[in-house]
């Protein structure tokens, strides 16, 4: 999301969004650590919409899915995004200690 924010400032947002929409597998790591601003929320919605049922996306988060709604500032957009993500996904919930603790 930070890269998209920079692309927006550089006037390259459309090009960046098109590139991300075409990637066979997009991995979003640490999703939800910080709330999205309005522009980021809209960019995320567009990205998910462009990829929905066309390309694979992995979203890794330490937040439970029930808390994802709070990441988005606009409830209606949050509903639309989460509907596309949650209801067409395969969830893998990991349990146990962090592997970083074992090192």
Quick check: pTM over 0.75? yes
pLDDT digits (tens, 9 = 90+) for 55-100: 999 999 999 888 999 999 999 999 999 999 888 899 998 888 877 7
Which is it for the CA torsion 47, 49, 51, 56, positive or negative? positive
The yes-or-no verdict on residue 103 having pLDDT over 70 is: no
Q: HEC string of 50-91?
A: HHCCCCEEEECCCCCHHHHHHHCCCHHHHHHHHHHHHCCCCC
pLDDT digits (tens, 9 = 90+) for 31-66: 999 999 999 999 999 999 999 989 999 999 999 888
61 touches 30 (CB < 8 A): yes
At residue 95, the pLDDT reads: 86
* Burial (0-12, 13-18, 19+ Cβ within 10 Å), 36: buried
Who wins on pLDDT, 103 or 33?
33
Domain boundaries defined on the chain = 24-90
Residues in contact with 58: Cβ distance below 8 Å, sequence separation at least 6, in sequence order: 25, 26, 27, 28
């Amino acid at each position: 999301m930070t890269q998209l924010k920079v692309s927006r400032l550089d006037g390259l947002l459309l090009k960046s969004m098109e590139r991300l929409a075409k990637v066979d597998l997009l991995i979003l790591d640490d999703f939800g650590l910080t709330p999205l601003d309005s522009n980021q929320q809209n960019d995320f919605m567009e990205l998910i919409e462009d990829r929905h049922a066309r390309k694979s996306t992995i979203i890794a988060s330490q937040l439970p899915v029930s808390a994802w709604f709070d990441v988005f500032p606009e409830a209606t957009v949050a509903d639309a995004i989460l509907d596309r993500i949650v209801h067409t996904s395969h969830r893998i919930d990991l349990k146990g200690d962090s592997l970083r603790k074992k090192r």
